[in-house]
Amino acid sequence: MKIDLTDTTASKINKGLVKARRAIGTPAVGVVLTLVVVTDEENAYDALKAASDASHEHPSRKLVVIKRVSRSPRDRTQSRLDAEVRVGADAGSGETVVLRLYGEVSDHAQSVVLPLLLPDAPVVVWWSVDAPRDPSADPLGALSQRRVTDSYAAEKPVEELRSRAESYQPGDTDLAWARITPWRSMLAAALDQVSTEIVSVEVAGEESNPSVELLAMWLADRLHVHVRRAVSAGPGLTQVRLETTGGPITLHRSDGAMATLALPGQPDRAVALKRRETSELLAEELRRLDPDDTYASALRFGVDRLGGIQSAAERAEAAADQPVPALPVRAVPEATPASAPAASASAATSAPASTSASASASAGEGDAERPTPAKMPPVKKQEG
């Protein structure tokens, strides 16, 4: 059931929720939390669908906050709140209120959300796009126990991770961290099967995927070894290679669905590492409302402490731009007939003093029988 409310207030929205529940015959509120989804009009459909799918595992009251951009100065001074109340099959499990904020009220979204929060229930805020630099200091974030962002949706994901590390507060989390949960589980299980010492690690994945950096930081933080970040064509994470004293351990995924785990002395095995939907990632984050200390430790390790390596194309381009270093010239005596020793000695003594000095310096300790540079055979470039 849907109820549209134009130019409304929070009080009228609460009355609309009660009316809608009575109309479908469910007056009781059977939800466990309030999920506040902050998005824009462009991404509203995808965010609402993900929240509705996640609510099948976590029944919740979903408050979708959409800040509408006013084009004219007059519209920016006029405040208006439109709402759409959904219950029953249209709202997944629980109930949904879509809030569209116009004008000055868009700068005070917390005043609209606060009267709609469920009493004595935890609050989770999820920014699907355009997350604030400091989620805990945001007016909406201050209302919640859990703050979910997604650095993958940022324009510069690596810079976003640096900002998250600087402003981290207990309760902050990132969907990019949830994306690597199967990888972390698989690698932890693989390390339990071997008793060798880990020397170094390399993590490969897409250049603009922050989950690769988070996995590398987690490994470096936990294993206390040097971890390099490599670039691959994707999709997403593609490979983790751990160099150990007993041989390499590799977890390679090339198609985004199935991966191959290789352990020293054991046959390769296929494991499922499917890339998950946003609703599954959100449902995972809603399972726990306490601070994620493991995420905090990995995030604070720092992106700048990772060892980066270039992709194959970048290495080839860098090698082409570098000048070819000059090869050292080694004096090689010219073969002369045994019957003409005097001619060779005469040619050596007739050279200018400067030329003879340079020849002596390159040949070593002024050997007068070395030929002059003009009489040396051409030096061939060493094959590398």
Whole-number pLDDT of residue 29: 66
The closest of 157, 150, 144 to 213, measured between CA atoms, is 157
Residue 381: half-sphere exposure toward Cβ, Cα within 13 Å: 5
* pLDDT tens column, 15-48: 999 898 888 887 666 788 999 999 999 999 999 9
Q: Is 226 helix (H, G, I), strand (E, B) or coil?
A: strand
Mean pLDDT, rounded, for 353-364: 39
Find where tokens 């050279």 sit.
351
Q: pLDDT band at 350, cuts 50/70/90?
A: very low
State the Cα–Cα distance between residues 373 and 384, nearest whole angstrom: 25
Residue 230: which of 254, 207, 253, 256 has the closest Cα? 207
Mean pLDDT of the chain: 81
CA geometry: angle 56, 59, 60, nearest 5 deg: 130
Phi, psi dihedral angles at 190 (to 5 degrees): -65, -40
- Stated as kind and residue range, the H or E segment containing 5 is strand 2-5
Share of the chain above pLDDT 70, in %: 77
pLDDT in tens, 166-203: 999 999 999 999 999 999 999 999 999 888 899 999 99
Span of 75-89, 111-125, 238-252, 307-321 with lowest mean pLDDT: 307-321
Residue 104's pLDDT is what? 86
pTM: 0.76
CB contact set of 156 (below 8 Å; sequence gap of 6+) = none
Which residues have CB under 8 Å from 231's CB, separation 6+?
A: 204, 205, 206, 207, 309, 310, 311, 314
